[in-house]
Structures are given as C-alpha cells and as structure tokens.
Amino acid sequence: MGITAAGKAEVAGLMGDTGSPTAFTYLANGSGSTAFVKTQTALVTENTANGSARHVATVSRTTTTDTNDTLSLVYQWTATGAVTIKEAGVFNASSAGDMLARKVLAATVTLANTDTWTWSHLITVA
C-alpha cells in the first residue's frame, strides 16, 4: 500500500483544519495492476459496474501501538455480475476527489454474481 502525494496534502489540511479538507471515508476497487506511484490520483481502472462501485465505508479508529492510532475503513461489496479486482483505494468523495492510498493486490480476486468481497483498509499513524 502506498500513500499518495495528494493524500498527504489533504491529511496535512485535516490536521491543521486548513484548506477546506475532506475526510477520507470512501473505498473503491479496480482491475488495474500498474505498480503504485505516489503521484497517482485515481485507481488505474476503477470498477463501477456489477455492484462494484465506490462506496462509503464503515470508518473507525483502532489501536495498533498507541490508543486510536489506526484508521480503519471497511466495506463489503456484493457482485451483481462478473467483477475482477486487482487494486483498491481510499478516497474522500463518492466520485473523483483525492485518493489517500492505493493497494495493488498480490492476487486477482474474481467475483461472480452474488459473490461478496470485503476490503478492510488500515492506515496506522506512526
């Protein structure tokens, strides 16, 4: 997983409450397999069909080392047709917006109609 340059800038704004920052509460998945680069601003090939569209996540804080030092975003998609997942990202809008982080999965996930896939994205502040 990598944190994007735009994501770092938005987090800095959130920390100082400056620049009209927006919290990161959306998860998206896609089929792109290009390696992470910090200048990326979107998933390589974001999925939008067959029940795989970007969605608001369940957001909470959890403890890794220090109390509440980890942001947790979780969502479960239910496919309504064939879906191929190779990447996932964290965003601050239901479309477009800033991408905080992107992960290229080690293995491709292939979903058929009614299959579910849960993505749990953890970001620890260290």
The pLDDT tens digits for 50-89 are 999 999 999 999 999 999 999 999 999 999 999 999 999 9
pLDDT band at 29 (very low <50, low <70, confident <90, very high): very high
Q: Which pLDDT does position 1 carry in this prediction?
A: 85
> How many Cβ atoms from other residues are within 10 Å of residue 37's Cβ?
10
Residue 77 contacts residue 52 (beta carbons within 8 Å): yes
Dist CA 80 CA 83 (whole Å): 8
The pLDDT tens digits for 99-114 are 999 999 999 999 999 9
Average confidence score pLDDT of the chain: 97
For residue 124, list its beta bridge partners.
Answer: 70
Residue 26 contacts residue 57 (beta carbons within 8 Å): yes
Dist CA 72 CA 68 (whole Å): 10
Q: Which pLDDT does position 118 carry in this prediction?
A: 98
Distances in Å between the Cα of 124 and the Cα atoms of 40, 66, 110 are: 21, 10, 28
For residue 101, list its beta bridge partners.
Answer: 3, 90
